Amino acid sequence: MMTAIPQPSDNRVYLELAFHPTVVLTTAVRRFVSNFYQQLLGDLDATSRLAMAAQELLENAVKYTSHGETMLRIELDGAAGIVRIHTSNRSDAAHIAILERLIGEMRAAPDPFAFYQGLLRSTMHDVEGSGLGLARIRCEGDMQVDLSIDGDLVAVTAWAHTEPRVSS
């Protein structure tokens, strides 16, 4: 006899994947995230921004991981009204330095849209290592982007406030 798994008492719902992402798989994950979180958020715009951010973070990992495996965790904390997308993977010192610089500049920029537009102009002919995906998350996704580094382990977290409609 199967028993239903009870909802967490703190109203948190999350999914976690650990895999070797490819461009094709990032698109599949985006579709899954969109379908899954549409049921929880009940808001097409919020769901679309979440799915876009997940795909951008995974594409970032595809480009810059040094050992292949990436961990993705998306958490909806209904009690706090926050959604978080977290990726972690191993990277090399050069890419870590680029991430530190880019996220530092992005967080210091008073206008996320102006920062994104500036990146679009400055990287028009060189999209490799441009940081456009992270700036897109900040601008179009209206999410904060944080970075933590532990040796060669890079963790990027995008988060935003939301109004979840967690259904049972």
pLDDT tens, 5-45? Answer: 334 446 788 899 999 888 899 999 999 999 999 988 888 99
Residues in the chain, overall count? 168
pLDDT score of 100: 92
pLDDT score of 66: 74
**Which residue in this structure is represented by tokens 């920029």?**
109
pLDDT tens, 79-132? Answer: 888 899 999 999 999 989 989 999 999 999 999 999 989 888 887 666 555 778
Which residues does residue 85 pair with via DSSP β-bridges, in sequence order?
A: 74, 158
Q: Are the CB atoms for 84 and 159 separated by under 8 Å?
A: yes
Query: Which residue spans within the chain are E strands per DSSP?
Result: 12-19, 70-77, 82-90, 144-150, 153-161
Q: Report residue 48 as tokens.
A: 């679309």
pLDDT score of 129: 59
Q: What is the mean pLDDT of residues 54-83?
A: 88
pLDDT score of 128: 58
pLDDT score of 41: 86
pLDDT score of 127: 54
CATH code 3.30.565.10 for 12-161: yes
Give the single-character DSSP code of 81: T
Res 168 pLDDT > 50: no
Res 3 pLDDT > 70: no
CA distance 26 to 120: 22
Q: Where are the domains of the chain?
A: 12-161
R_g over Cα of the chain: 16
Looking at this protein, which amino acid is placed at residue 70?
T
pLDDT score of 58: 93
- Total Cβ atoms within 10 A of residue 118: 14
pLDDT score of 125: 65
Res 74 pLDDT > 90: yes
